[in-house]
């Protein structure tokens, strides 16, 4: 395989040429969208801290620390922006410049992570349509979603495609059983383009889907806490390595 076009070993500091350390910042305010993280040995530790604010009061209880490879949003008060996750009352609260740090139309991603085991947390990685060319270009390749309560000697994850408002593709999500504890480092990959999406975990194909979005997409990697604060803090997951290829 050819050398990746872009790579990050998450050894720190944050690569500002590749990552925005806010979760969909246009739909909320900076103190709510900002990621919490540190760089211990072995990569980047995403954190949910006890005093961390809900991402949006309308979506509470929901707190998140996220990296994404760009941003796009319309003017203040408009409903224009990447990943319009709900239809009721969603407007731009923080004007955000268009930044296409890495936004391939087709390609390959490899991502090595260690998931959280906290029962209220989810570690996820998505490719989402930037929507900067057309609001209908909103589809998502869900590389994985791993709930902390589903991590054990084997792990149940979710993987596939979500259409959102893209009428040209269909939602096709499925549970996938991983025969190991996903709180240890493990590698996911996705190849997408030419109407096909192939998602692998530890070099084993877990989804082979005969469709793919065909427009620019941002990569998002995020740790969520869903539910009222409880248990021990900080809640954490690790990012160990990322490699990306553009076709």
Distance between CA atoms of residues 144 and 159, nearest Å: 5
Residue from 133, 121, 111, 236 nearest 185 by CA: 111
Q: Looking at residue 86, what is its pLDDT?
A: 87
> Is 1 among the domain residues?
no
Structurally, the chain folds into a number of domains equal to 1
Alpha helices in 82-219 (DSSP H): none
Distance between CA atoms of residues 50 and 60, nearest Å: 15
| C-beta separation of 116 from 234 below 8 A | no
- Sign of the torsion angle spanned by Cα atoms 10, 239, 159, 24: negative
CATH number at residue 242: 2.60.120.200
Tokens in use for 65? 């620390």
Which residues neighbour 200 within 8 Å (Cβ) at sequence distance 6 or greater? 188, 189, 190, 206
Residue whose structure tokens are 């620019």: 216
Distance between CA atoms of residues 112 and 198, nearest Å: 17
- Sign of the torsion angle spanned by Cα atoms 9, 102, 202, 185: positive
Give me the domain span that covers residue 44: 6-246
> Is 46 among the domain residues?
yes
Other residues' Cβ atoms within 10 Å of the Cβ of residue 161: 25
> Is 163 among the domain residues?
yes
Q: Looking at residue 97, what is its pLDDT?
A: 96
> Is 41 among the domain residues?
yes
> Is 117 among the domain residues?
yes
CA 17: distance to chain centroid?
Answer: 18
Q: Where are the beta strands (DSSP E) in 74-139?
A: 99-100, 107-114, 121-129
Q: Looking at residue 88, what is its pLDDT?
A: 86
* pTM greater than 0.85 (yes/no): yes
> Is 13 among the domain residues?
yes
Q: Looking at residue 213, what is its pLDDT?
A: 98
Which residues neighbour 211 within 8 Å (Cβ) at sequence distance 6 or greater? 161, 169, 170, 172, 195, 196, 197
| Digit-coded pLDDT (tens) for 163-192 | 999 999 999 999 999 999 999 999 999 999
Flag residues of the chain having pLDDT under 70: none
Distance between CA atoms of residues 129 and 139, nearest Å: 5
Residue from 197, 203, 231, 202 nearest 217 by CA: 197
Q: Looking at residue 89, what is its pLDDT?
A: 84
Q: Looking at residue 16, what is its pLDDT?
A: 97
> Is 178 among the domain residues?
yes
> Is 137 among the domain residues?
yes
């Amino acid at each position: 395989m050819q050398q990746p076009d872009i790579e990050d070993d998450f050894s720190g500091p944050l690569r500002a040429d590749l990552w925005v350390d806010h979760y969909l910042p246009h739909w909320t305010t900076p103190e709510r969208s900002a990621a919490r993280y540190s760089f211990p040995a072995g990569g980047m530790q995403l954190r949910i801290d006890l005093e961390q604010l809900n991402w949006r009061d309308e979506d509470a209880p929901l707190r998140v620390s996220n990296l994404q490879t760009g941003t796009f949003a319309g003017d203040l008060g408009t409903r224009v922006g990447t990943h319009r996750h709900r239809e009721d009352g969603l407007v731009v609260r923080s004007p955000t410049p268009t930044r296409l740090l890495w936004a391939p139309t087709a390609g390959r991603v490899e991502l090595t992570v260690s998931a959280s085991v906290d029962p209220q947390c989810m570690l996820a990685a998505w490719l989402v349509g930037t929507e900067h060319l057309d609001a209908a270009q909103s589809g998502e390749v869900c590389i994985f979603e791993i709930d902390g309560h589903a991590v054990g000697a084997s792990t149940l994850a979710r993987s596939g495609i979500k259409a959102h408002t893209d009428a040209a593709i269909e939602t096709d999500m499925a549970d996938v059983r991983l025969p190991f504890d996903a709180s240890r480092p493990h590698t996911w990959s996705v190849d997408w383009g030419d109407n096909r999406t192939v998602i692998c975990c530890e070099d084993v194909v877990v989804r082979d889907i005969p469709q793919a979005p065909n427009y620019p997409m941002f990569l998002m990697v995020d740790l969520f806490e869903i539910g009222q604060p409880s248990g021990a803090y900080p809640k954490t997951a690790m990012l160990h390595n990322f490699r990306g290829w553009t076709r």
